[in-house]
Structure 1
């Protein structure tokens, strides 16, 4: 652990170097006159962030001041920080960076999509911070039917769990056990977004249409995601047994990769391969 003095100095250096890499034109300002040093002036950053010049100067000098989360977001916007730089700023300011509307867009990169495809015949998919399915491989499609929208929250995992008969069928007779784990994990992760409109609307609609969700949500059960065994009954090949693992994308930590590895000692892998063989035959006909 670095000392507070060193942390404040690192914060000051970080702000100064980010400021110096920007030109007035890049942030919509008029250059005006000669400049002794490259980049923006401190007063220009303060203007863009809507904060006091003296206060920002103290921050760049490594003084012992404690900016709020709102002020840090404003400074990050003014300096056009990337997601990684924004997170670094919050750490240097001794604050936890809450992923919110300022976070990067939930886009699955082509490289990550290729990773999903390379895992077949192991089912794998990506879930975003709102628990929406963002991308999946062909095996996940054959097992879970993820491309089928379930209005009005077409690709939301929680909405599907409690409203889509397909989800209830594939997890029977353990649907209640699986659904209770999902609701506890969703509550634990979504507390950061409890004030956002999408979250409040989703909860209201789930309570309206699902008796189980309406009964379980007030319990306030929470749990972290963990590796687990999952049994799924597929309508074509019967029971599939998996080890379920969740991985995080380092560059976009709001994204989660869900991997369903066939349980050793079962015929699950052979059944998945059979599904893929059927898919290949359909595409050659």
Structure 2
């Protein structure tokens, strides 16, 4: 072991070996900043969180919504109005026709109402906590948490979605009371729809998180987030189902992950997919989850290099 330097002799250019003894009075300069490309290399990979505490983070996300009971009640009231308007609009669009492009009036109204309720749950106004954490300067603390930033954010976002379930459920119940939503053709379709919906929620969580990482490159994210929200609603078929789109546009949208988020599960619910087509659709959803995870990891690796934690 080398001899310790005299007290007060350290200066910014000195190198201190980790094995050396340093007296409490010695000053060791850690540098003006920490390069996250090196300092955060020890962090766990996004796919390897400690699962024991994630339930608590889900509760944190849920409480961030449920604590504002007035907003929750207003959201429920708005959902009831939206369901009523959706029913009136599509009933007017069909006019005297019973079917359009092979889709019955009742199928279309059911689809539109369920799509509105689903979008309300999976696309809240603040669908990721990352932009706010960056603005508040708390992202450095999040990076050294044992769960990792990715798992922490996904857990919080999942909690936010769970807390918004009462809003979507209220819309579905109101539609059932109005006789505007048809049940699935049979129990098999119901189970397939539940499976597809679980995959769709996973895709929405991953896409929301990936897009929210734009905050690592720009502090003003209002514009990009608005474009994403509108684009997601249109490309996913939540506003207009792919059945009614031009064939060339529908073919393009089928190559994007958004249609697997809304159009696929609701097509199953409506009975428009069956047999091998149904199995392929669910397989495509699972494939999109793998692809989006890969894209998320790539974006995350680039975003991490943008972080500089000031210290001294």
Q: Shorter-normalised TM-score: what interval?
A: under 0.3
Q: Which has more helix, going by share of residues? A: 2
> TM-score by structure 1 length?
0.25
RCO higher in 1 or 2 (8 Å CA, sep ≥ 6)? Answer: 2
Q: Which has more strand, going by share of residues? A: 1
